[in-house]
Structures are given as structure tokens and as C-alpha cells.
């Protein structure tokens, strides 16, 4: 586009009105083609090309940066058009009558002299065209700023406080605002689980004191504990060596089966997958690879069926949404 900033749409081979899915698909295809580890790092041009593709994706993949880039791109195009009109105006005004003794045959265009009145009219026309282009650029910039402000207002999340809802991880984490990637994204969830464990330990202590005083608190706790849901016909009984746990929430459901220390997960009616299990310490277990696209991870607390979360990540592993689910029993 300019000498200092290339045309990112042309680098990714997409149209200027392409949506986010088209941008990600083009980036993944070009990254596989030009990545130094896949194409061989001997050619320095491959690395430079990959860095340009990465820069284009970083700009176009972010809504705010893309909006700023589009404004700059349209302003640059308008300025180029204005410069072209100025050059054409200068060429027209520089043409005059043929000097004495010159040969008309060697001139690129026939020498046609413009009357002073007509030349002045053309000058005003070109000046008006340049002024129109400048006004159009200003209008475009103002409209784009208004769209950016409206988009920022739409992105404001309104949180409804519900006293009956149990504490859990935030419903949504916007990408590009400090969202961690991979397993490091669970640091905040681990901290929340640690606080929940502390509150559970305090509740257990109070319950033990109540039992020591009269035993009435133990009866209340026993009557308030909901019975475990009955297993469907054909399911194996829930034992330490053979266990099935059903979980559901936010319109999604899955179940975890453990048979002879072999764990399998079926997510949203998908096939049974053999997941990867990570022990994060402090009682937190992270289960990944629960679906073929590997965009879903599950978080469990050992021995606790009410502290299960679902983590949704993008194609490169950035967690951008988490939500809690209810399980029939503790999975681990």
C-alpha cells in the first residue's frame, strides 16, 4: 500500500471485506506454506515472507487495529488520487504553443495551446476536484471514528449479579486484552479454585464443631445433600475402578468414563476421545484433547462435582471463554 506499510489484504490474498473466519483460514494456509520450520530455514526470504504474513494477521485479526488500518488505507488511497490529479493538472498547464524551430513530430502529443480563460477554468475545476477529495477523506475518517465508538459500546459486557448462582470463573474473556494462552490461561482459575477450597475447608471445620456440640448439624447436612442421579440402563455402576460422570451447562453436555484407570470423554454427543490429563496442583485437573479440533478443555477439582468448568480456546490455543457446568458426581 505504501513504502513503509504493505497491503495486508494482498499479502493474505483476501478481499478488503473478508470476515474473521476467512482471515484466519488464509493465515493458517500461508503459515503452513511459508513457516521456516516447514519450508526449510535456509532461504532468508522464507523467514521474511512469514514475518510479513504474521504481521498482516496480527493487524487484520484484531478488530480495533484493522479499523485503524482501513482508515489509514483509505486516506492513503485518497491522497494518491489527489496527487495524480495534481500531476495531470500540472501536465495540462505545462503544455503551451510550439516554440519556433521545434519539430512537432518528436513531441509526444500535438502542441495545443489553451486560451487563458479556458486554462483558468480548468484550474478551478481541478482545484474543486482536489477539495472534493479532501472533504471526502475527512467525512470517511469521521464516520469510521463513529463506527469505532459504536463498536466499543457494543463490546461492553453487562454482568448480572445473582445471589443464587455459585461463584465460578468469568463467563467470557475477550481475546487481545491480556488473555493468556495454553495451560498458562488457567492461572486465574487455579486461584479461584484455591479460594473455593479454603471456603470448603472452613465450612468443614464449622460442620465438625457443630457435630461435636450436638450432632444436629450433621443430620441437616445429610438431609440437604441431593441423592446421586440414577444411571441409565446399560451403564456400569459408579465405583472407584469403573465410573461414569455426566455434566451439563450453557447448552452443552458431556460425560466422562473411567474404566480400569482408562479415562474417555464424549463431548456434545461426539465420539469417545482419549484425553490428555494434566495435574495442575492444588487439586486442579485439566483434561484436554476431548474433541478432534482440540478447542475444548475441561477443568475438574478432585473430589468435587460442583467445581467443573469448560474452557474454549481458538485454533492457536488462546482461551477466550470459560463457563461452569453441573456434574452428577466427582470425576477425579
Prediction pTM value: 0.32
- If asked whether residues 242 and 133 sit together in one domain, one would say no
Q: Of 65, 54, 41, which Cα lies nearest the Cα of 12?
A: 54
- Does residue 241 belong to any structural domain of this protein? yes
At 312, is the secondary structure helix, strand, or coil? strand
Helix (H/G/I), strand (E/B), else coil: 306? strand
Reference 119, options 146, 136, 147, 96; nearest CA is 96
Q: Are residues 207 and 124 in the same domain?
A: no
Both 129 and 242 in one domain: the answer is no
**Same domain for 282 and 189?**
yes
Residue 169 maps to a domain: no
User: Could you please report the per-residue DSSP string of 152-184?
Assistant: HHHTPPPPPP-TTSPP-S-SB--TTSS--BGGG
Give the span between the Cα atoms of 254 and 327, in whole angstroms.
Answer: 9
The Cα–Cα gap between 268 and 271 comes to 9
Number of domains in the chain: 2
- Is 82 in the same domain as 205? no
Residues 90, 194, single domain; the answer is: no
C-alpha–C-alpha distance, residues 272 and 251, integer Å: 19
Position 162 in a domain: no
Annotate 230-288 with DSSP letters as a single string.
Answer: PPPTTPPP--SSEEEEEEEETTEEEEEEEETTEEEEEETT---B--EEEEEETTEEEEE
Residue 177, in any domain of the structure: no
Burial 242-252 (b: 16+ CB within 10 A, else e): ebbbbbebeee
Q: What is the DSSP string of 94-155?
A: H--PPPTT--GGGSSS---PPPHHHHHHHHHHHHHHHHHHHHHHHHHHHHHHHHHHHHHHHT
User: Which pLDDT score, from 0 to 100, does residue 298 have?
Assistant: 81
CB 52 within 8 A of CB 9: no
Cβ count within 10 A of residue 206: 11
Residue with cell 461463584: 167
Burial (CB < 10 A; 0-12, 13-18, 19+), residue 174, is: exposed
pLDDT mean by block of 10 residues, the chain; 332 residues:
74 92 93 78 74 93 93 89 88 67 47 58 86 93 90 62 47 44 62 75 81 57 44 47 86 88 89 89 83 85 82 78 89 77
CA distance 98 to 141: 46
Strand partners, 263: 258
pLDDT at 110: 45
Residues 252 and 319 occupy one common structural domain? yes
Q: Does a structural domain hold residue 291?
A: yes
Same domain flag for 203 and 320: yes
**Bridge partner list, 66:** none
Q: Please give the DSSP secondary-structure letter assigned to residue 33.
A: H
The pLDDT value recorded for residue 136 is: 92
Among 67, 278, 317, 310, smallest CA distance to 172 is for: 310
Residue 39: inside a domain:
yes
Q: What is the pLDDT of residue 215?
A: 53
Whether 52 maps to a domain, the answer reads yes
230 lies in a domain?
A: no
Give dist(CA 132, CA 81) in Å, integer: 11
User: Are 34 and 113 contained in the same domain?
Assistant: yes
- 114 and 194, same domain (yes or no): no
Domain of residue 83: give its range.
8-97+109-154
CATH number, residue 68 = 1.10.287.110
Residues 30 and 120 reside in one and the same domain:
yes
State whether 246 and 117 are in the same domain: no
- pLDDT value, residue 253: 92
Which three-class secondary structure string do you get for 68-101? HHHHHHHHHHHHHHHHHHHHHHHHHHHCCCCCCC
Amino acid at each position: 500500500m505504501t513504502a513503509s506499510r504493505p497491503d495486508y489484504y494482498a499479502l493474505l490474498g483476501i478481499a478488503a471485506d473478508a470476515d474473521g473466519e476467512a482471515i484466519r483460514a488464509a493465515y493458517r494456509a500461508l503459515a503452513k506454506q511459508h513457516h521456516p520450520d516447514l519450508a526449510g530455514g535456509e532461504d532468508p526470504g522464507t523467514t521474511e515472507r512469514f514475518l510479513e504474513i504474521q504481521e498482516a494477521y496480527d493487524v487484520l485479526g484484531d478488530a480495533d487495529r484493522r479499523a485503524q488500518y482501513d482508515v489509514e488505507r483509505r486516506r492513503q488511497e485518497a491522497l494518491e488520487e489527489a496527487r495524480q490529479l495534481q500531476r495531470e493538472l500540472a501536465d495540462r498547464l505545462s503544455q503551451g504553443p510550439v516554440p519556433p524551430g521545434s519539430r512537432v513530430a518528436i513531441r509526444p502529443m500535438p502542441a495545443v495551446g489553451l486560451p487563458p480563460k479556458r486554462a483558468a477554468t480548468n484550474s478551478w475545476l481541478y482545484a474543486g476536484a482536489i477539495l472534493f477529495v479532501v472533504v471526502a477523506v475527512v467525512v470517511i475518517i469521521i464516520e469510521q471514528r463513529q463506527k469505532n465508538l459504536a463498536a466499543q459500546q457494543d463490546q461492553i459486557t453487562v454482568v448480572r449479579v445473582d445471589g443464587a448462582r455459585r461463584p465460578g470463573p468469568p463467563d467470557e474473556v475477550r481475546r487481545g486484552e491480556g488473555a493468556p494462552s495454553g495451560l498458562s490461561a488457567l492461572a486465574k482459575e487455579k486461584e479461584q479454585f484455591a479460594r473455593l477450597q479454603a471456603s470448603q475447608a472452613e465450612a468443614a471445620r464449622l460442620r465438625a464443631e457443630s457435630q461435636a456440640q450436638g450432632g444436629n448439624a450433621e443430620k441437616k447436612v445429610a438431609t440437604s445433600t441431593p441423592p446421586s442421579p440414577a444411571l441409565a440402563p446399560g451403564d456400569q455402576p459408579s465405583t472407584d475402578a469403573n465410573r461414569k460422570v455426566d455434566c451439563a451447562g450453557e447448552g452443552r453436555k458431556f460425560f466422562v468414563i473411567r474404566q480400569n484407570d482408562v479415562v474417555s470423554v464424549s463431548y456434545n454427543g461426539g465420539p469417545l476421545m482419549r484425553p490428555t490429563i494434566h495435574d495442575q496442583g492444588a487439586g486442579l485437573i485439566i483434561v484436554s484433547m476431548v474433541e478432534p479440533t482440540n478447542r475444548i478443555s475441561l477443568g475438574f477439582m478432585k473430589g468435587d462435582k460442583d467445581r467443573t468448568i469448560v474452557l474454549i480456546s481458538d485454533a492457536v490455543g488462546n482461551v477466550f471463554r470459560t463457563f461452569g457446568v453441573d456434574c452428577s458426581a466427582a470425576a477425579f
